[in-house]
Amino acid sequence: MELVAPAGNLPSLKAAVDHGADAVYIGMRDDTNARHFPGLNFDAGNLAKAVFYAHVNGAKVFLAINTYPQPQGWQRWTRAVDLAADAGLDALIVADIGVMEYAQARYPGMRLHLSVQASATNRNALSWYRQAFGIRRAVLPRVLSLNQVVRLAANSPVDLEVFAFGSLCIMVEGRCQLSSYATGKSPNLSGACSPAEFVTWQKHPSGLESRLNGLLVDRFPADSAAGYPVICKGRFRAAGAVYHVLEEPTSLNTIALLPALARAGIKAIKIEGRQRGTAYVAQVTSVWRAALDALHKHSDAFAVQHEWLHSLASVAEGAQTTLGAYQRAWQ
C-alpha cells in the first residue's frame, strides 16, 4: 500500500519524503484547497522545488484542489490545475466536477484522484466519476465502517485510498455547516474550517478562552495548552454540564487494521495533517513507514508495536486515538 503524507510547506514535504512517504499531498496558497491557513501551502515559485525534491528522491506529489469554486473565483481553480500540469505533479485530488472537466479536457493525460470532499461512498458514484472524468483513485470519507470499506473495495471500479491517522470529522466530508453558521464562510468554499480572521483568544479569570467570531468555543485553565477553536470539538453547556457535546478531541489511528485493509485491496494509506508542523509529519510518517514495511515482510505475523502506539499518541489530538467509524459493531 502506498503511504501518502501531508505537507503544508516545503520543509514538511522534505520531512515526509525523507522519512519514507511514497507520495506527499499539498495545496496552493489560496482557497482552492481545504487547508487555506495563513503561512501554509505553496505558490508557483516553490511548487516546482517541491516536485523536484520529491521526484529526485523517488516520491510522488499530489495537489489538492478540493474546494468548490464560485463563479467570481473560477480562474484561481483553473490556474491551480495549470500550475500543477506545468510543474509535473503526479496527480490532482479534486472535488468539484467543473474542475474535473477542465483538467480532463485541458490535460487528458493528467491523473485525477477523487477528493474525500466529494463524499463518494458507493460503487455507482465511483463508476460515474470514472466514466465521466477518468478518475483513477478515490479517497474514502471517514464515515464508513471496516465492513463497508471491504465491500466497496471488492467492487470498486477505481483504486481506493483511506485515512490512516489524524484528525477526525463528525460531518460527512464536504457537507459541514458549523463553521459556515458561525462565520458566514464555508470550509468547502473558502478553504478553511474556522478561518483565522475570525479566531481570537481572550484572557479570563479561570484561564484562556478561544472564540470563533465572538462565539465562545472553549475555556482552558492557565496551565494547559489552548486548542484552535473548531466548533465540533468545543465544549458547551448542555443539560446542566459543560463538556464536548459534539466530539472529543481525538485522532483516528487505524494501524491495527493494516492487515485487513491490505487484504481488502486498499491501494493507499493517508495521513491527515497539512496544518501540522514539520516534526509531526516526520514522526508520524516514520511510524507508518515502519508499520507498512513490517506488514510487507511479515504479513501473516504482523503485530502492532508498543513504540508505534506511544509515538502516535504523543501527537494525537487530546493525546488519545480511536478507530472511529471503522469499529461500528452493529455493522
> Are 72 and 14 within 8 A, CB to CB?
no
Residue 299, pLDDT score: 86
C-alpha cell of residue 11: 520543509
> Are 250 and 230 within 8 A, CB to CB?
no
> Are 62 and 271 within 8 A, CB to CB?
no
Domains by residue range for the chain, with CATH: 2-168+250-327 (3.20.20.70), 178-243 (no CATH)
pTM over 0.85: yes
Instruction: Give average pLDDT by consecutive 10-residue segment, the chain, 331 residues.
Output: 97 98 97 89 95 98 95 96 97 97 97 94 97 97 92 97 88 74 84 86 89 92 81 90 87 94 97 94 98 94 95 87 78 61
Counts of helices then strands in the chain (DSSP H, E): 11, 15
Residue 330, pLDDT score: 64
Q: How many other CB atoms are there within 10 angstroms of residue 56's CB atom?
A: 9
Distance CA 92, CA 104 (A): 11
Grouping H, G, I as helix, E, B as strand and the rest as coil, residue 41 is coil
Within 13 Å, how many C-alpha atoms sit on residue 74's CB side?
9
